[in-house]
A and B are shown apart, each in its own frame.
Chain A
């Protein structure tokens, strides 16, 4: 038994070199495998969540993300919705969008963005729409987050 344990110890110790080499040499492969096997994504609190609707305005597009209320279990009372306008080159001086984020066929808010300065304003049509976070100049276009709360 002692000999067997010793043998296993040596084998395990030797294997650590192989593990190290595999870890670094196969990093790209293992990373892809890990990502696809777990199906893990970036938290919507950072990424803005999945795009659920695209409005094509000809020279530019408006991307509407899903409302984010995600919690560890269930949903939070407060969340946000992200809108993106791309590309910079196709944007008019001012963009305006009426959004129905909860799909009840009633406009929830009107958002206006000055694409030169990034100034954004919000007109809420629903008590669930709270306020606008500042606009963000991304690599391809502008993004805005509108803070929301769940209906009580």
Chain B
């Protein structure tokens, strides 16, 4: 009887009115965060704000009404990544004239700080009270600002940060959805330990050399953001390495495996975030009574966070990014979002909603800025022939 109740609550579509009521708080919050307390001036900015607001809230409405999470999350997540890259590169070109980061800009602390650098900066920060990055402590794209966001989002979502905040993750997510079926199906479990090895190596190397090793040598996302000006053979080698990693881990392997290979098999921040999942209140659980061992969740998980062992334990691995793909895919509705400490047998939809509010809010806030900016630039490009 209990089983039927939970099954029904997870699959039934909500009425339009009830969905609207549940979406009202999100509408208010996204409006408040997108406007920042003041309405923009200028037709194109106003249009971008209205379009962004409607687009975001339509996705949330559909999430709440249909009970599908990843289907709609992925649309916004991929949009965020595309708009971030477009907005970031166009800003760089407007300000600096190129995507290349000169040594002079580094001396002046002009490099924008991103969350992927955080693991490397922790030991030197504690021991030397300095941040090993050529950025700014305060201001826009600042180090302190990104640390605050990282702490806040980690407290709220744990490793959910990787699927609801990371403005790079959407690139792989997008590429992983191109093919209908994966070409490479079997990936050894051993590879899932690689991010922890990368984390260990880059943290130790960064501490020893007092330089952000991962940023300098390995970060694939420099290909679509900014990279150090090639002035020496060393920088040329670094460039070849990170471009190759981008092509391999962010484009080719996600297409062939239908997984987020950079996130699941390489990212050191992802490895660190797995620890935050242990202390986070939200988790994905597996109802072993409902599970028929079809292994669909194992096949679809983009970050290799479910295996046969997980199904036996009723819990996914710590590397879970809470994207909801497994929850959407399970034909038995055996996987569900859960609030730690509460009962496992009922109120599954309530748990999901309790997760969706903070998670979608994070995604909407971070995407809002870049989607609006990209939209304004695209409008300017079409109407005036220039983005600025």
Contact = CB atoms under 8 A, between A and B. Distances in A.
Nearest to A71: B210
A86 to B, nearest CB: 12
A14 B128 contact: no
Interface in B193-228: 207-208, 210-211
Interface stretch (A45-53, A96-104, A124-132): A45-53
B362 A20 contact: yes
A6 to B, nearest CB: 5
Most buried by B among A5, A12, A70: A12
A89 interface: no
B104 to A, nearest CB: 4
A-side interface mostly: helix
Contact of B339 (A10, A23, A71): A10
Contact of B109 (A5, A45, A47): A47
Q: Which of A7, A8, A14, A21 has the most CB of B within 10 A?
A: A21
Given A17-B361, A39-B129, A46 B107 contact: yes
A54 interface: no
B355 A34 contact: no
Nearest to A32: B138
Contacts of A38: 125, 129
B147 A34 contact: yes
B104 A136 contact: yes
Contacts of A5: 341-342
Given A5-B341, A19-B155, A27-B149, A41 B130 contact: yes
A139 interface: yes
B246 interface: no
A40 B135 contact: no
Given A10-B354, A45-B132, A139 B342 contact: no
Interface string A7-47: 11110111011011111110110111011001111111111
A40 B125 contact: yes
B108 A43 contact: no
A21 B29 contact: yes
Contacts of A45: 132, 210-211
A73 to B, nearest CB: 7
B152 A6 contact: no
B381 to A, nearest CB: 28
A7 B357 CA distance: 18
Contacts of A148: none
A137 interface: yes
Secondary structure type dominating chain B contacts: helix
B45 to A, nearest CB: 20
Given A14-B354, A72-B124, A46 B152 contact: no
Contact of A12 (B130, B149, B281, B351): B281
A10 B153 contact: no
A19 B358 CA distance: 8
Interface size grouping (class) on chain B: 35 or more
A23 to B, nearest CB: 3
Interface residues of A, number: 48
Contacts of B341: 5-10, 12
A34 B207 CA distance: 21
B123 interface: yes
A22 B152 contact: yes
B290 interface: no
A30 B128 contact: no
B123 A72 contact: yes
A17 to B, nearest CB: 5
Given A16-B156, A31-B138, A139-B108, A42 B130 contact: yes
B137 interface: yes
A118 to B, nearest CB: 10
Contacts of B108: 138-139
B118 to A, nearest CB: 13
B127 interface: yes
A143 interface: yes
Given A40-B143, A45-B211, 14 more contacts: A2-B343, A5-B341, A8-B341, A9-B281, A12-B340, A17-B361, A19-B156, A24-B152, A41-B130, A46-B106, A47-B134, A72-B124, A72-B127, A82-B107
